[in-house]
A and B are shown apart, each in its own frame.
Chain A
Amino acid sequence: MAAVVASVSKTPTRTRRRLGIPIGWGFVTPFLVFFVIAILAPVVYAIYLSLFREQIVGGSGFVGFDNYVRAFTDPEFWAGVGRVIAFMIVQVPIMLAFSLIAALAIDSGRLRAPGFYRILLFLPYAVPGVVAVLIWGFIYGPRFGLVGSINNFLGAQIFTPLTPDWVLASIANISVWEFAGYNMVIFYAALRTVPSELYEAASLDGAGPLRTVMSIKLPALRGALVITTIFSIIGSFQLFNEPNLLKPIAPNAITSNFTPNLYAYTLSFAGQQYNYSATIAIVMGLITAIIAYVVQLRGTRKELA
């Protein structure tokens, strides 16, 4: 996205109102007002909160970086971080592979009615995350769900998606289902921008389908891959809806610190520990930003090489 910032100064007009206030500000200000209220102020307020602590007597006192020290040595917090990292390592590659293969297949011109596949695969994106988790929760249900029926048929508890061993994989499956189609559309859109002359040249050079994929299509997808990877990583670190909604049916498998977001939520709403909760939110935001930045750097460096 750095390239975008650089290219912003493209020939707009410089116009001034009589008062001397540039007219451009008139257009930008309404957005900025809400931007400040809904994004800047909460971030600043969270940083402020993270530097204080509720005292037993007399309100809250300034404690400097004590909350951060506590976060960095809090095993419950790091257990959640470990879990979302494990989730990310498994879920993101599977989902993006699904999306990539589907996009390449639809773009290959070797399917009948490619638009049909594109729309069907995209459908889950229109399903609210809550509904997706509820449906999968029913499917996973050991007593009355689809999995329960299959186990009954087999006469043994073969599939146990809601046990502590499997629940993370079960959540990963829900996320793949929700977002693979969305990423597929992004990849497909990127493939559509490849000029047809490139394919003609490749076929004149005798390049087969596989060679075309490796030498033309994958390089064309690099930008889209970087962006989808970054957003998938961010999504993994922010994991909340799925575990929180599966909690009622998997109370033993999903603990209150299952993911960092769930932990911060529990701290705020069950523990009233607002200061520490704000600290966790900030630390997670920082970790996410660093990882997203590293991915972007690596992605663009490859582009230069």
Chain B
Amino acid sequence: MRATPIERRRSRLVPRSSISLTILMVVLVLYTLVPLAYLVINSTKSQDDFFTSFGLSFGSSFNLFQNIGEVFSYNDGIYSRWFLNTIFYVVVSAGGATILAALAGYGIAKFRFRGRNAVFAVVLGAVAIPGTALALPTFLLFSSIGLVNTPWAIIIPSLVSPFGLYLMWTYATDAVPSEILEAARIDGAGEFRTFFTVSLRLLAPGLVTVLLFSIVTTWNNYFLPLIMLSDPKLYPLTLGLAQWNAQSTGTNADPIQNLIITGSLIAIIPLIAVFLFLQRYWQSGLAAGSVK
């Protein structure tokens, strides 16, 4: 298992650094950073400055804190509501998806039972089914059983992560030695007890990886909430920001670009922080999922 990134061979074959490669990479980094810089710079502008000043220069006044205040107070503080909704959806969906994937991946990796290969093949076949293709049929099904416009409509589809199961299976296969399970059995421990007391600890790095990707998927979800939810009080941030954007254009426009931009900035900070803190996990997780 590639839990720790392999940082070797640097010393041996390292020639001097290359100027042309560096220039190329700086160009790519600039392309990547310009939109983010645009977001940061414009979050400091008032609505008037936004329309009158150049996109990548600061405005006549520094309005960041005023904008932040307005984001949270606009429309009776609906933004805070969206923020809390997002956190709720993320905690329940990503947490649940990780537990379900861990149990199932571990079950397939460590137990032999009739139908095991069939289960694995069916679930893996679903890895390639994109969420957007499923969303519409899921909406049609959920509306026929009265689940639309409830938090469940967002949570239930997010609980299933075939890719997470696949990651947990690869991880559990190597990280949990069968000898330990044998020993626990001889001691008379039940399989679920062994799982929660012994195996779960060994699976921790894999769990964090799956959790991380589930968090990103749920935090960034747009299509599913868009079709499932009609009550703005249930919206996650993505849908709320999209709604602010839609109401800022058109005939009866209520332009609040400064709030959209500042609200977007606040919405991306938690995920960027998570990624910076958990680098080890996403780098190794992507490796485990794709190198095969």
Contact = CB atoms under 8 A, between A and B. Distances in A.
A136 B237 CA distance: 18
B267 A128 contact: yes
A203 to B, nearest CB: 6
B245 A134 contact: yes
Interface string B77-100: 000000000000000000000001
Contacts of A8: 108, 116-117, 120, 169
A31 B55 contact: no
A228 interface: yes
Contact of A121 (B12, B32, B56, B110): B32
Given A12-B109, A39-B126, A264-B136, A189 B283 contact: yes
B29 A265 contact: no
B32 A120 contact: yes
A110 B35 contact: no
B124 to A, nearest CB: 6
A46 B6 CA distance: 45
A261 interface: yes
A249 interface: yes
A285 B56 CA distance: 41
B140 A128 contact: no
Interface residues of A, number: 113
Given A22-B111, A31-B100, A289 B128 contact: yes
Interface in A71-118: 98, 101-102, 105-106, 108-112, 117
B229 interface: no
Interface string A122-155: 1111111111101111110000111001000000
Nearest to A226: B290
A261 B137 CA distance: 12
A238 interface: yes
A143 B222 CA distance: 27
B141 A41 contact: yes
Interface string A175-197: 00100111001101110110010
Interface in A1-45: 1, 3-5, 8-15, 22-28, 30-32, 34-35, 37-39, 41-43, 45
A235 B130 contact: yes
Most buried by B among A138, A199, A224: A138
A224 B286 CA distance: 10
Contacts of A9: 112, 117
Contacts of B115: 25
A168 interface: no
Contacts of A34: 100, 156, 159-160
Nearest to A10: B173
15 contacts: A4-B292, A13-B182, A27-B108, A27-B111, A31-B165, A34-B156, A119-B276, A121-B32, A123-B32, A123-B275, A126-B271, A131-B39, A146-B38, A188-B283, A223-B290
The 5 closest A-B pairs by CB, nearest first: A27-B107, A24-B111, A22-B113, A189-B287, A46-B137
